[in-house]
Structure formats: structure tokens, C-alpha cells
A and B are shown apart, each in its own frame.
Chain A
């Protein structure tokens, strides 16, 4: 999807269990929800 918008060199990293211990933990677990760092760039 990100590449489809014209951005290149897309990278996902650093998955985090961001909702652990929060009220939303149960629904986050249901869908396998993790927080990621995502980067890409616009080509020159």
C-alpha cells in the first residue's frame, strides 16, 4: 500500500506489544495487533 502511493524503500521494524496491560489488550490480541516503526522515502 505504501509503495502504491509512490514511496520507496519501505521498511517495518521494532514490533511492540503496545497494548499489553492496557484496557484494549484483549481486542488487540484478538487481531494480533502490534505497534511497528515504519519508514519509507520519496525517490529523488
Chain B
């Protein structure tokens, strides 16, 4: 992992990722290198309930790569952290699952996504979800707070993946669980490709 951190220009990568997701926040129905929206979530196997409780405007900027709820959603009353919460769809689903006794914290580094997710939460009347600005390598969540950590398609954008997993360990309570979705590569990535920021973001 240290090798990747030596190869990648971290600040440039974060800047490019912010720029990409700023575009998605502003124009979620445009064509990107990944799929977006409710139909994509259904294709990935998201459970129709409670997805069917969310209006289209809360789903259109969804840009996940898999199904973090493959083993089921959070339980009523649980506390959930969503890493790279983006436009907020997964956080909203988690908020519906945990109910008023539970709490969801979404963390994202893109201001436009935070504006969008906070605005959506207000429109949906979800008082049990909060969005915080931050890096998932430095989660702004206290130690042992979470019963569940979720994420979708974000950890792959961080060169320091073990640092992210150490943060997940830190914020989970003993016995807590991580259920995330992300991409895995079947073939090794050559160093020149690791240096190519465009490949990281699309």
C-alpha cells in the first residue's frame, strides 16, 4: 500500500474525484463512465423496499457499483455510518431501516454532494440522518459509535485502503459490522496506470 501512496498524487486525485462528483451532483442524468439512478440500483439488486419509498429525485444521482445491502439492511435502532455518502441515497435507505430510534451519519468530501444530500434529507423529512464533510481516511465520527458501516463505490477511490479499513474498525463498536460494495480488479494494475488519475476517476 505504501507503494501506491508513493505513486499517486493524492491531492490531485482528490481534486479530480471532487470535480467528477460535482458534475454528478449538478447534472445527475448526464452520461458518465458509470451508471446512475434508480434503475441502476435495481439492476444491482437493491431491495425494492424501502427503495420504493424514495422519490426519483432522491435516487437520480446514485452512482454505486454494487449492493451493500446484499445481506440485508441495518436493523431498527442501529447507528450507521455511510462512507462517501454522495447524493445520499444509501443514507436515506439506512435512515428508513433504522427508524426514529436509530441514526445515520453520511460522510463526504464533495461540497456539492453535501448540499444535495442535506437538501434531499430536508425534503424527505428525515431527521435521523446527518451529513458531515470529511475524508473517509479521517472519519469525523467518534470511536466505537457505529453498529454498521456502509459504503458503495468509494473505497476504491482512496489509495490508502488499509487506512480506510482501520477507520472503519475504529468507528465500529465491538461486534459491529461493515457491509459495503466496491470494485475489485481481477488483474494487476501497472504502475503507469496507477499514475493515470483519469483511470481512477473514469
- Please report A residues at the B interface, Cβ cutoff 8 Å: 1-2, 4-7, 12-14, 16, 18-19, 21-24, 27-28, 30-44
For the residues of A in contact with B, the DSSP-based class is mixed
What is the minimal beta-carbon distance from A20 to any residue of chain B, in angstroms? 9
Inter-chain contact B67/A22, CB cutoff 8 Å: no
Can you name the residue of chain A whose Cβ is closest to the Cβ of B178? A40
6 A-B pairs with the lowest CB-CB distances in the bound complex, closest first: A32-B186, A24-B33, A35-B66, A5-B165, A37-B70, A35-B65
Inter-chain contact A42/B172, CB cutoff 8 Å: yes
Residues from 123 to 156 in B contacting A, C-beta threshold 8 Å? 153
Residue among A16, A23, A36, A42 facing the most chain B CB atoms (10 A cut-off): A42
- Could you give 20 example pairs across A and B, Cβ below 8 Å? A4-B165, A5-B162, A6-B169, A14-B45, A16-B65, A16-B66, A19-B34, A31-B187, A31-B193, A33-B186, A34-B183, A35-B181, A35-B182, A37-B66, A37-B181, A38-B182, A39-B71, A39-B178, A39-B179, A41-B172
Inter-chain contact A41/B33, CB cutoff 8 Å: no
Could you mark each residue 70-103 of chain B with 1 if its beta carbon is under 8 Å from any beta carbon of chain A, else 0?
Answer: 1100000000000000000000000000000000
Residues from 169 to 194 in B contacting A, C-beta threshold 8 Å? 169, 172-187, 189, 193
What is the minimal beta-carbon distance from A29 to any residue of chain B, in angstroms? 10
What is the minimal beta-carbon distance from A25 to any residue of chain B, in angstroms? 8
Inter-chain contact B166/A24, CB cutoff 8 Å: no
Inter-chain contact B168/A36, CB cutoff 8 Å: no
B161 / chain A contacts, CB cutoff of 8 Å = 1
Identify 9 new A-B residue pairs, CB closer than 8 A, beyond the known A16-B44, A35-B44, A37-B181. A7-B169, A7-B178, A24-B32, A24-B34, A30-B187, A37-B67, A38-B179, A39-B71, A43-B174
Inter-chain contact B183/A41, CB cutoff 8 Å: no
